[in-house]
Chain A
Amino acid sequence: MTAATAMQPAEGRPIIKVSGLRVEFQTDDGMVAGVKDVSFEIQPGETLCVVGESGSGKSVTSLSILRLIEFGGGRIAAGSLEFARGSGEVIDLAKAEPDVMQGIRGNEIGMIFQEPMTSLNPVFTIERQLTDGLKRHRGLTGEDARGRALELLREVRIPEPERRLTQYPHELSGGMRQRIVIAMAMACRPRLLIADEPTTALDVTIQAEILGLIDRLKRENGMAVLFITHDMAVVAQMADRVVVMYRGDVVEEGPVRDIFEQPREAYTKALLAAVPKLGEMRDKPAPEPMRILGDETLRAAAPPPAICTRREPLLTVKNLTTRFPVKGGLMRRTVANVHAVEDVSFQLAKGATLSLVGESGCGKSTCGRSILRLVEAESGEIQLDGWNVRGLSRLDLRHARRDMQMVFQDPFASLNPYRRLLDQVAEPLVNFGLASGSELHDRVAHLFDRVELPRSFLRRFPHELSGGQRQRVAIARALAPNPKLIVADESVSALDVSVQAQVLNLLMELQADLGLSFLFISHDMAVVERVSHNVAVMYLGRIVEIGPRAAVFENPRHAYTRSLLDAVPIADPARRRPHDDRSFRPLSSPIFPVGAPVEPSSYDEVAPGHFVLRPLAAA
């Protein structure tokens, strides 16, 4: 017996109305409420963004609407989910029967998810996956189904749609797969589209296209969109109204301009303060710590001398090239090479930060690893404070490693789960014989103080700490041998926004106090704008533009830099940019056959210290 009401929907009736939703999970530690009391509604043609950090319950909320939460062990304990169907009937999804729900899913409500790489069945063709929903809901088969599938592919602007039908998911990139997932969700013209972090796993340029796509589909179909995200900048871009969630409750809700310009609640204010906004470093000469609410002991970074180019370089990289072999053919010969880093040159001054920024696969990570010789470069020169890094013997390299350390991206995987934190931070000291016994203990304790971790954590194991805390341990470990250079490889990318701000501030403080140089590797332009003195933009293994931060951000000259900056969402609804969801442009590949001729990089100096790559012969 369904709780359907046969009311005629009045004008302006919301497509979905969530009231008092409470969702519980049975865990080893007893009953846990993932969502405690959530209410909101969405009008037709409106985009509602639900934003929150991890653990806020935003995903659980979206999964509950389609009752998918029950497949994961959750249970709707209270509340109602009133959905206005196309027929005019209003039904409470929380109490609907399974076969009714099956009829609604993929039909009147569509959903897209976060991970495009795993959202498609690896063993079925694209055609099969597009058409089985059509078959189920519209009874389309054969040529009719195929025709509709092609239509859908065209709507989401996938190039060569006929070819895609016979392909398998692994043959397509992440951006294309996400478009197909969207096509599947749109197949039956849903009234409501639920998007659960759909662009989090995508590069920023692809993200811009997908956001544009979702927006256009919404306008063309008049549907309502429930958009879940943790990224305030995306919220500013997409939302008409916003719901802010924290630990299972709604903290604040309202129109997007109100939330951003006049937040009422402390949590919302803190969240907004922690988000770096692209463009807010304009007119500021040097990196500045983020203003974190509630942090009274705000320390300003000691301003470094005005122009970095006058300072002595700590690290000089010349024509660095790193390639990886691709094996295949008979007897596993090398048939091609991946040109991960190609002819890269730059300088990093003492006490300054140079950011390597680019999308996935541009080679920025490999560049960092090559400098530390965690990966062996093929050619080029690396000078670190007098050491010729590439020429060092293995023994000398171990000594040189005292001066250059790395902080990795994944706070969970960069610590050994079976070793105490004290031992792990002490490891560099032990390796280099820098201390032992009680002196070792003291030094490690001081390092913990430095990164603002309680000394009681010394004897703990990694799994007892949060992501942000683990990253602080990783920073302490990197600081232990008193290095001159720290390579931060996407060190804050995996952290919640508020934690990210704290860790960035810590890094900037350490730089001011210790004169550390940072090679900051990231894909996040807004963060890079905050922390860098100089910026290098990478694409397909080469540096396409490099210069002082202000120059590159305010006066980008290379086409790629421009498209990158254009694509970044700005955390300010007043500065919304319409995005063109033009069809996916195939990326050139960095894979070249063995022995292919490779041009060296050459640059134009368009302003003092600001260099732009000249176009290559073979684009």
Chain B
Amino acid sequence: MKRFLTPQGVIGFTLIVIIVAIGIFAPLIIPPDMATKMKMTMRLKPPSMGYPFGTDQLGRDIFFRVLLGAHTSLGIAGAAVAISVLIGLPLGIISGYARGAVDNVLMRIVDTLLSFPALLLALTISAMLGPSIPNTIIAIGIAFTPFLARIIRGEALRVSAMPYVEAARAAGTNDAAMIWRHILPNVLPLVIVQATISLAFAILAEAGLSFLGLGTQPPNSSWGLMIQASRDYLDVAPWTALAPGAAVALTVLALNMFGDVLRDVLDPRAQ
């Protein structure tokens, strides 16, 4: 527990808690029209007392838009990572535990999928399905699955070779019980670390997809979409891009910081 209390760990964790809280509670607390109310006379105003982050090209309050965007961006990223874990975890464990032909075939497919850049895969899937929030989630989720499956498979392989697994086998444990009692609990720490880091990448991916118009669509709003919308006004109103960009950066940074600390604490090799 002490090892969590590094400056990096504390800062990262605190930031994550704050950001997630914003993501969950902002839509409940902030009336939606705070972010959608257009005021053409207040277009592209720089940050001020009334508008902490300034206004965008339609006179909307960027501050509230960023806060509400957390919900969308985090929600999409979280759901996508959940999908990749849901598919990747059983795949990786079965591959690493069963080894042999099953492993060879599965990993051949996974390795081939890994030749496709994740962003490219996500973009293509999104484009073919038609961009929308659920499709963005599916696209990013599927794109991240191969990498996660491979990492989990490696860990499952390592755990399966441990003496305590052999001891359990000598004690008469069958395969299902083996996976539940021994493989899964020892693979889970790595999954937690990877999921945290994947979350960071998923937010970046959503931002990228939305930036290209193949992610979140208006009237929904996410950070990526906000950056995309601000492209034309960069010279005159850079804050329109900086605010959501900073939000992305801060969230991803917090996740990476905390992910690093998690890895230091949970890595079995360091114990």
Chain A residues positioned under 8 Å from B170 (CB to CB): 372, 374, 401, 404-406
- B166 contacts A428, CB within 8 Å? no
A166 CB-CB contact with B under 8 Å:
no
CA distance A404 to B170 in the complex (A): 8
> What are some 8 contacts across the A-B interface (CB < 8 A)?
A28-B2, A401-B172, A406-B170, A414-B167, A415-B164, A416-B168, A431-B172, A432-B172
Per-position 1/0 for B142-179, Cβ under 8 A of A: 00000000000000000000111011111111100100
- A416 contacts B181, CB within 8 Å? yes
- A416 contacts B173, CB within 8 Å? no
CA distance A481 to B166 in the complex (A): 16
| A95 nearest CB across to chain B (Å) | 34
CA distance A428 to B170 in the complex (A): 9
Excluding A408-B167, A419-B181, A463-B271, 4 further A-B contacts by CB distance (< 8 Å) are A415-B164, A417-B268, A423-B181, A428-B172
Per-position 1/0 for A191-219, Cβ under 8 A of B: 00000000000000000000000000000
Closest-by-CB residue of B relative to A480 is B171
| A26 nearest CB across to chain B (Å) | 14
A402 CB-CB contact with B under 8 Å:
yes
- A416 contacts B186, CB within 8 Å? yes
| B264 nearest CB across to chain A (Å) | 12
Chain B residues positioned under 8 Å from A474 (CB to CB): 167
| B102 nearest CB across to chain A (Å) | 16
- A28 contacts B3, CB within 8 Å? yes
* Interface of B, helix, strand, loop or mixed by DSSP: helix
Chain B residues positioned under 8 Å from A376 (CB to CB): none
- Give the most central of A409, A415, A417, A481: most B CB within 10 Å: A417
B182 CB-CB contact with A under 8 Å:
yes
Chain B residues positioned under 8 Å from A404 (CB to CB): 170
- Please tell me the number of chain B residues within 8 Å of chain A, measured between CB atoms: 21
Chain B residues positioned under 8 Å from A71 (CB to CB): none
B31 CB-CB contact with A under 8 Å:
no
- B171 contacts A405, CB within 8 Å? yes
| Given A28-B2, A374-B169, A463-B271: A416 and B164 interface contact (C-beta under 8 Å) | yes
A542 CB-CB contact with B under 8 Å:
no
B2, B3, B163, B173: which contacts A427 (Cβ < 8 A)?
B173
Per-position 1/0 for A400-443, Cβ under 8 A of B: 01101110111001111111000110011001100000000000
CA distance A415 to B268 in the complex (A): 13
B binding-site residues for A, Cβ under 8 Å: 2-3, 162-164, 166-174, 177, 181-182, 185-186, 268, 271
| B93 nearest CB across to chain A (Å) | 15
Closest-by-CB residue of A relative to B104 is A332
| B182 nearest CB across to chain A (Å) | 5
| Given A28-B3, A481-B171: A408 and B185 interface contact (C-beta under 8 Å) | no
* Interface of A, helix, strand, loop or mixed by DSSP: loop
CA distance A413 to B3 in the complex (A): 23
- A427 contacts B171, CB within 8 Å? yes
- A413 contacts B162, CB within 8 Å? yes
A-B contact count (CB 8 A): 67
CA distance A399 to B171 in the complex (A): 10
| A471 nearest CB across to chain B (Å) | 12
B3, B185, B271: which contacts A416 (Cβ < 8 A)?
B185
| A395 nearest CB across to chain B (Å) | 10
CA distance A414 to B161 in the complex (A): 11
Chain A residues positioned under 8 Å from B182 (CB to CB): 416, 419
| Given A428-B172, A431-B172: A419 and B167 interface contact (C-beta under 8 Å) | no
A398, A408, A413, A463: which contacts B172 (Cβ < 8 A)?
A398
Chain A residues positioned under 8 Å from B171 (CB to CB): 401, 405, 427-428, 431, 477, 480-481
CA distance A28 to B169 in the complex (A): 37
A374, A418, A424: which contacts B166 (Cβ < 8 A)?
A374
| Given A413-B162, A417-B271: A398 and B185 interface contact (C-beta under 8 Å) | no
CA distance A106 to B151 in the complex (A): 42
| B125 nearest CB across to chain A (Å) | 34
Closest-by-CB residue of B relative to A418 is B185
| B97 nearest CB across to chain A (Å) | 15
Please list the 9 inter-chain residue pairs (A to B) with the smallest Cβ-Cβ separation, ordered nearest first. Answer: A431-B172, A428-B171, A418-B185, A414-B163, A413-B163, A416-B164, A408-B163, A398-B172, A401-B172
Chain A residues positioned under 8 Å from B164 (CB to CB): 413-416, 424
- B271 contacts A410, CB within 8 Å? no
CA distance A406 to B168 in the complex (A): 10
| A408 nearest CB across to chain B (Å) | 5
CA distance A158 to B256 in the complex (A): 51
- B172 contacts A406, CB within 8 Å? no
| Given A398-B174, A402-B172: A418 and B167 interface contact (C-beta under 8 Å) | no
CA distance A534 to B170 in the complex (A): 25
Chain A residues positioned under 8 Å from B167 (CB to CB): 406, 408, 414-415, 474, 477
Chain B residues positioned under 8 Å from A416 (CB to CB): 164, 168, 181-182, 185-186
CA distance A67 to B3 in the complex (A): 29
CA distance A462 to B126 in the complex (A): 48
Chain A residues positioned under 8 Å from B172 (CB to CB): 398-399, 401-402, 428, 431-432, 481
- Give the most central of A399, A404, A418, A463: most B CB within 10 Å: A418
| B185 nearest CB across to chain A (Å) | 4
